[in-house]
Structure 1
Amino acid sequence: MKTLNKLFTFLIILLASVANAQEFVYGDALPDAPELAVRGQHKVGVRTLQFIHKNQPDILNAKDGKAPLYDRDLTVEVWYPAEIDPNDTDLITYNEVMGTAGDTTRPLIPFTFKGRATRNARIKSSNESYPLVVVSHGYVGSRYLMTYLTENLASKGYIVAAIDHKESTFRDAANFTSTLINRSPDIRFVLESMRSSEGDAAFLKGSLDADNMAIIGYSMGGYGVLNVAGGAYSKAFNQGFKQFSGGSDLLSPLVEDNPEFKPVPEGLKAVVAMAPWGKERMVWSAESLRGLKVPTFFIAGDQDDISGYEKGIKAIYEEAVFTERFLLTYANARHNIAPNPPPAEAMQPGLHFDEYYRYAEPNWDQRRINNINQHFITAFLDWKLKGVDTQSYFAAPDEKGLMKGFKPRTFLGLTLRQNQASN
C-alpha cells in the first residue's frame, strides 16, 4: 500500500509539472513565432525599486502659471539575468489593476497574471556587464504593461527597468498636463539613477554596462523617449501647451532652441518608439526633429487612431532624417501594438469595453504581435548595444516572400522600412 501511495503521489506531481510546463505565459513563443522571439539562455530575476526625483514642478497645483515643487516618487520594476536553482520554478505572479483612477465608469479592479521570473533572485555574475534598457508605458499604463518584452530581453542578457510614471498609471491617473511635462524628465532621471547603481539599484554595481543603453517607449512613452534622445518638442506645441495649462512655461526646457534643453544621455545607443503619440498635435516639426540622431526603431499600426499613422508615426519616421531609422508597420492594426495580451478578467460580461480594448487589437492575435516585437527588438538591440551582426534580419524579403527569421508563409501583414541618416 505504501508503494502504491508513493506511486500515486509521484504521478500527481508529474502531471502537475507537465501541466505547469505547458501553461502559456505572456511572451511564450507560439509555433509560428519568428526566430529571435524565443527566450534567451538566462534565467530571469525581478525586483521592485523606489526612486525619488526631488524638487520637480508640481503642475497639478500650479496657480497663475507658477508651480510649487514636490518630490516625484517613482516605482521601477527591474528584470535581469539571475542565478536561480535549476530545480526552482520560475513562474511569478504579477499584481495589476484594470480601470482608471478617478473614472467612476471604470473602477479599479485588481487582477493577477503570470510571468517567468524569480522575485529578488541574485544577479548572475559574468565577465561581461549587461546593457541597460529603460521602458516607459503609455497614458494610462504601468510598469507591468509589457512583461512579455521585459522578461524576454532580460533572458537575453539585458538589465531592463520599467517605470511606473507617477500620475500616469491606472492607479493614480491625473490631469494630462502632468504626463506632458514629466514623461521625458522621468525617463532621463531613471536612466541616470540606474546607471549610477546607487540606492535600491546598488545590487547592479559592476553588472550594468552604462556605455550601451537603450530606451523603449509606448504611446506617451514614445513621446518621452524621442525627446530624451534629442527630438525636441516644437515651438508651436509649446505655445499650445501654455494655453492648455493656463500659461505654464514648464514645457519650455524640452523645446527646440532652448538653451536649457539637455544633451542626449551619454551611452544612449538605441531608441524603440512604439506608436509614439504627438505628431498630429504638432509635438514635433521637421526642424525640432533635427536633434534626433540616435538609431531609432519605430513600430506602428497603419490604422492607429490615437497617434495617427500617415500624419503621425510615419511622418516622424520620414522627418527624422538625421538618424538611422526603421519602421515596422502592422497592417490593419490600431494603437495597441505594444501591450501584453488582454487578461482573462477583461473578458467578463458587464465590464467597460475599453478594459479589453486597452490591450487587444481587432485584427491581430496579441500573442503573435508580442512574438514579432520580441524578434525585431532583439535584433535591433543586439545590433546597436552588443555589436552582434543582426542586420540581415532587417533585409527585404526575397523573391519568394521569405523574410529571415520567419517561418515560410508567415511574413504577412507586415511592412519594414529603413533609412540611413543624412549628412
Structure 2
Amino acid sequence: MRLAGIFLALLLASPLAARARALADGPALSAPGAYPVGVRTLILTNPDQPDLLASDLAAGKLARRDRVLPVTIWYPSTKPKAGAAQVRYMQPGATPDAPSVFYRAGGAYPDAAPVRGQHFPLVVLSHGYRNWATSFADLAENLASKGYVVASIEHRDLEPKTLSNPQLSFATTVITRVADQRFVIAELARRAGEGPLKGVYDPDDVALIGYSMGGFGALTTMGAGLDPQGPLYKLAPFGLLKPFSALDPGFAAGLPRNVKAMVALAPWGGAPPLRAWSAEGLAGVTVPTLLIVGDQDDVSGYDPGVAWLYANLTHADRRMLVYENARHNIALDGVTSAQTQSFEAIERHEEPVWRRDRILAINRHFITAFLDERLKGDAAHGAYLTVATARAADGTWPLAPGASVGDRFAAPNDAGTAQYWPGFQRRWALGLRLMHAAPDKAALK
C-alpha cells in the first residue's frame, strides 16, 4: 500500500496530471489556457517510401514500402461530461510487434468533441531520435488549451539493440525525418475539411516544432538544403538524401508554404563531424525561427552547433533562447515514475542542473509568445520576446530595502520593470540568454 501511495503521488505531481494548475514560479505565459483539451490519433500512410531494413545494401537493391505514421492530435474541446476519463499515455514498444506500455496519466480527454468554427492554428511536432509522439504532451496540452491544434508525429525510430545492423536505425531516421514532416504537413492540410477535425484548424496557418533529429528535419523541411559535399550526405546509401539537397530541383518546390513559424529545440546537424548543411544551404530558410538550446549541449553541440546555425540562418528573423549549464534534454517531459531509479533513463531524459518542471514552464512561455505573435498576430504576447538584456542575470528590478513584490511579474509595459525580463518574477530570471537577429538585408538582395 505504501508503494502504491508513492506511485500515485508521483503521478499527481507530474505536469501532465496537473495540467490545470500553473507552476507557482512559472513565467507569465506558461500557465494553461481556458480550453479543455481533447486528444485523438490519426493514422496517416505515406506510400512507397525507402525501407533500408528490408534492402540488400551489399547488392545495391533498395526496398520500398508504405510508411505508416500514427499522429497524436491535441485540440481545444468542448466541456467534457462529468466523470469523463482522461488520457493514459502509452510508450511504444521497442519493436513494431511489441505492445505499448502505460507510463503517465495526462490532462486531455480522449476523442472529446472539438470546438468548431474558430479555425485554430495548426502546430506539427516532430520528436527526437528514439523519442515518441506523446513524450512532448506537456507542451502539446498547454498549447491546445490556448487555442492551437497540435499534431505530433510518431516516427517509430528503430531501436538499435533489436537490429542485426544497429547503424540502420540512425540511417533510417536521417532519411525519413524530412519526408515524414513534409508529408504530414501536406496531408493534414488536405484533410482540414474532412474527418473528425473538420473545420477545426486552419491549414494555411501552421507552425513546425522539432526537437533534436526533429529539429534537423524541421530546418531541412523549411528550406535548408543538405550539403551534397558534406559528410552526412555522403553516408546515405542509394543517394536517398538527394531529394533534400539543392541538387534536386524539386527540393525548393516542396517547401511547405503554409508554415508561418518554426521552433527548433536543440536541433541536430550543425556540428562537425557530420555537419548537415553549408552556410549557403541554411540561407534557404526564410520562416521566422525560434531556436532553444543548452550551452553545454553535448549531442547537438552549442558552438559549433546550434549557435552556428543561429549565425547562419541569415534570411530568417530568428531568436535563440539559451539555457546556461544545460545539456541536450531541454524539451522532453522527463523520466516516467517507473524510470526514476535508472541512470540510463535519467541521462536520456533529464538535465543535471535544471529542474524539469522549470524547463517545461519556460519553454511553454517563450513558445506561446512566439507562436501567438506569428500565428495569431498577438503583439502583446510577442512583446515578451523583447528583453532589456541579452543575459537574464544582467536585468535589474530596483526595490527599496526590505520591500517585496511577492509573485508579481515584470511586464512589457511597466516602466518600473523595464530593465528586467518581462514575464518573470523578481530574482527568478536567471540562467537564461535570449538573442535576436533580423534577416540580413544585404544577403537578401
TM above 0.5, yes or no, is yes
What corresponds to 1:250 in structure 2? Answer: 240
What corresponds to 2:208 in structure 1? Answer: 215
SS at match of 2:124: strand
Separation of aligned partners in 1, 2:160 and 2:105: 19
Q: CA deviation at 1:204?
A: 1.8
Structure 1 contact 65–249 (Cα < 8 Å) conserved: no
Separation of aligned partners in 1, 2:99 and 2:432: 35
What corresponds to 1:4 in structure 2? Answer: none
| Inter-CA distance 41–172: structure 2 relative to 1 (3 Å threshold) | farther
Q: Which amino acid aligns with 1:147?
A: A
- What are the within-5 Å matches in structure 2 for residues 321-332 of structure 1? 321-332=314-325
Q: CA deviation at 1:399?
A: 3.9
| Inter-CA distance 169–34: structure 2 relative to 1 (3 Å threshold) | farther
Q: Could you tell me the percent identity over the aligned residues? A: 39
Q: Deviations over 1:259-312 (max 9, x none)?
A: 121432121100000000011122011111111000010000000000000100
Separation of aligned partners in 2, 1:171 and 1:207: 41
Q: Which amino acid aligns with 1:332?
A: N
SS at match of 2:250: coil
Q: Which amino acid aligns with 1:415?
A: R
Larger RCO (CA within 8 A; separation ≥ 6) = 1
Q: Which amino acid aligns with 2:200?
A: S
Q: Which amino acid aligns with 2:140?
A: T
What corresponds to 2:174 in structure 1? Answer: 180
TM-score by length of 1: 0.86
Separation of aligned partners in 2, 1:113 and 1:324: 37
What corresponds to 1:120 in structure 2? Answer: 111
Q: CA deviation at 1:258?
A: 2.4
Where structure 2 has 5 or more consecutive residues not aligned to the other structure, the ranges are 1-8, 389-394, 398-418
Q: Which amino acid aligns with 2:122?
A: L
TM-score by length of 2: 0.82
Separation of aligned partners in 2, 1:261 and 1:291: 11
- What are the within-5 Å matches in structure 2 for residues 105-254 of structure 1? 110-126=101-117, 128-168=118-158, 175-197=169-191, 202-237=195-230, 240-242=232-234, 244-245=235-236, 247-254=237-244
Root-mean-square deviation over aligned CA pairs: 2.6
Q: CA deviation at 1:233?
A: 1.1
Q: Which moved more, 1:327-336 or 1:53-62?
A: 53-62
| Inter-CA distance 240–269: structure 2 relative to 1 (3 Å threshold) | closer
What corresponds to 1:365 in structure 2? Answer: 355
| Inter-CA distance 411–89: structure 2 relative to 1 (3 Å threshold) | farther
What corresponds to 2:309 in structure 1? Answer: 316
Separation of aligned partners in 2, 1:319 and 1:85: 47
Separation of aligned partners in 2, 1:21 and 1:310: 37
Structure 2 contact 32–146 (Cα < 8 Å) conserved: yes
What corresponds to 1:41 in structure 2? Answer: 34
Where structure 1 has 5 or more consecutive residues not aligned to the other structure, the ranges are 1-18
Separation of aligned partners in 1, 2:385 and 2:61: 48
| Inter-CA distance 109–364: structure 2 relative to 1 (3 Å threshold) | farther
Q: CA deviation at 1:168?
A: 4.5
Structure 1 contact 298–325 (Cα < 8 Å) conserved: yes
Q: Does 1:418 align with 2:408?
A: no
Q: Which amino acid aligns with 2:217?
A: G
Q: Which amino acid aligns with 2:185?
A: L
Structure 1 contact 141–168 (Cα < 8 Å) conserved: no
What corresponds to 2:333 in structure 1? Answer: 340
Structure 1 contact 33–371 (Cα < 8 Å) conserved: yes
| Inter-CA distance 259–48: structure 2 relative to 1 (3 Å threshold) | same
SS at match of 1:144: helix
Which of 369, 382, 398 pairs up with 1:391?
A: 382
| Inter-CA distance 43–21: structure 2 relative to 1 (3 Å threshold) | farther
| Inter-CA distance 68–22: structure 2 relative to 1 (3 Å threshold) | closer
Runs (4 or more) in structure 1 with deviation over 6 Å come to 19-22, 169-173
Separation of aligned partners in 2, 1:74 and 1:44: 22
| Inter-CA distance 338–22: structure 2 relative to 1 (3 Å threshold) | closer
SS at match of 2:77: strand
Q: Which amino acid aligns with 2:420?
A: L
Structure 2 contact 227–233 (Cα < 8 Å) conserved: no
Structure 2 contact 35–146 (Cα < 8 Å) conserved: yes
SS at match of 1:162: strand
Separation of aligned partners in 2, 1:284 and 1:241: 9
Separation of aligned partners in 2, 1:108 and 1:307: 31
Structure 2 contact 36–80 (Cα < 8 Å) conserved: no
SS at match of 1:61: strand
Q: CA deviation at 1:391?
A: 2.7
Separation of aligned partners in 1, 2:191 and 2:317: 30
